[in-house]
Amino acid sequence: MQILIIGSGGREYSIGLALKRDSLVKKIYFAPGNGASSEIGENVEIKELNKLADFAKDNNIDLAIVGPEAPLTEGVVDIFKKRSLTIFGPSKDAAKLEGSKAYMKNFLSSNGIPTAKYLESSDFNEVSEFIDKMDEKIVVKADGLCAGKGVIICESRDEAKKETKRMLEGESFGEAGKKVVVEEFLDGYELSLFAICDGENYKLLPAAQDHKRLLDGDKGPNTGGMGAYAPTPLIDDKLYEKVKKLVVEPTLRGMKRNGTPYSGVLFIGLMVVNGEPYVLEYNVRFGDPECEVLMPLLKTPASELFYKAATGKLNELDIEFYDKKCVGVVIASENYPYGSSALAEIIIDDIVDEDIKNNTHISYAGVSKIDDKLFATGGRVLLCIGLGDTIKEARDRAYGLCGQVHFVGKKFRTDIAYQALREEV
């Protein structure tokens, strides 16, 4: 098989690594890829989606896999399908599940899927009346996409009203905040659940946990994610069953009923409160860094999983995972997430420790190659991935690798997987 991966981050690189160890795969292309993906495949500098479809036709691509949401919401899947190309991802209409919080909340409530009680409105007085009836801790969200920043957790009704006003007047998030979703605060723990879907059938991947805040102890600003691990012990068979019956299956039924059957990765951001799952959000793509810790656990050939999903044949597949744990620690540039950072050469020590050598790898993200040397280009630069029989073993190996990677301004959290380690004995 010849496969085209669309995207350039650690997520796409990790999908590339999974395909690399898959004997069914002959060649991997990345569009555009990064400075390290050219080592496992060929980078293609094409951004325009119609031109990318031309490339796929001309190069006999058997399967395209889309990483980020932007090409999905721009309709890359529709463009490829019109050209009779096989592509893994949701259509433009199905990808709407991620674009607007109001659309998503309405979808959840009309399909009876558990989520926080909410009101969607552009009218301050209406919101204010709703807030008066709520408990003190309230979440105010801008409707549109705000790069993960449009969510404010307010400690009082007065604060919630103040933030609502600022949003509706366009002060805090511009156009994206001119409609708000105000909802009850859910007090629990968060999980990232991924279902690979083919419009009708699905395969659930092991639950992962991300660490969104920049600093240890979940402090500091939100980021794209500073590390992840899977599977998490914070979910048991009973909760998996509830998630399937109360969330995944009604979501697929609802999407089909709406005339937008969902195929691709369905990313469900869950809050678990007293053993019950509540949907915080959907995304129409893999999480990053969650993908980087899930791909190494996949025993089923990755090409088969994605191809069967893209062609509506997931019911033919028995998905298998390694009985291992995986921990990924993001190493970011100096000024992440506030701004750009100077280019910095990446030096990786020769790894002599056999345990680290055999059970870790790097998933590259914000890197470029100049004169055969790798440079950190800013943002999240790479992930150190560790595998083990326990979360602790995987975590120690990942951190062992972190100590062998060097560049100016390197920073990372030192407590990835801490919630799981509290559970693991």
Positions touching ligand GLY (CB under 6 A) are 210, 224-225, 283, 287-288, 290
Q: Site residues for ligand AMP, window 280-319 (CB under 6 A)?
A: 280-281
Smaller CB separation from ligand AMP, 178 or 410: 178
Select from ligand GLY, ligand AMP, none the partner in contact with residue 413, using the beta carbon and a kind-dependent cut-off of 5 to 8 Å: none
Select from ligand GLY, ligand AMP, none the partner in contact with residue 301, using the beta carbon and a kind-dependent cut-off of 5 to 8 Å: none
Asked if 60 and 283 touch (Cβ cutoff 8 Å), the reply is no
Smaller CB separation from ligand GLY, 198 or 292: 292
**Looking only at Cα atoms, what is the longest distance across the chain?**
65
Select from ligand GLY, ligand AMP, none the partner in contact with residue 186, using the beta carbon and a kind-dependent cut-off of 5 to 8 Å: ligand AMP
Smaller CB separation from ligand GLY, 225 or 366: 225
Smaller CB separation from ligand AMP, 121 or 377: 121
CB-based burial label for 151 (10 Å; 0-12, 13-18, 19+) = middle
Select from ligand GLY, ligand AMP, none the partner in contact with residue 1, using the beta carbon and a kind-dependent cut-off of 5 to 8 Å: none
Q: Site residues for ligand AMP, window 143-202 (CB under 6 A)?
A: 151, 183, 185-186, 190
Select from ligand AMP, ligand GLY, none the partner in contact with residue 151, using the beta carbon and a kind-dependent cut-off of 5 to 8 Å: ligand AMP
Taking CB under 6 A as the criterion, the residue among 25, 139, 270, 344 binding ligand AMP is 139
Which of 184, 138, 185, 144 is closest to 164 using CA atoms?
Answer: 138
Contact mark string toward ligand AMP, 210..249, x via CB under 6 A:
----------------------------------------
Q: Shortest distance, CB of residue 62 to ligand GLY, whole angstroms?
A: 27
Smaller CB separation from ligand AMP, 209 or 404: 209
Cα distances (Å, whole numbers) of residue 295 to 20, 154, 268, 305, 328: 11, 37, 17, 11, 11
Q: Site residues for ligand AMP, window 267-286 (CB under 6 A)?
A: 269, 280-281
Smaller CB separation from ligand AMP, 69 or 281: 281
Q: Shortest distance, CB of residue 287 to ligand GLY, whole angstroms?
A: 4
Q: Which residue ranges make up the site for ligand AMP (CB under 6 A)?
A: 116, 139, 141, 151, 183, 185-186, 190, 269, 280-281
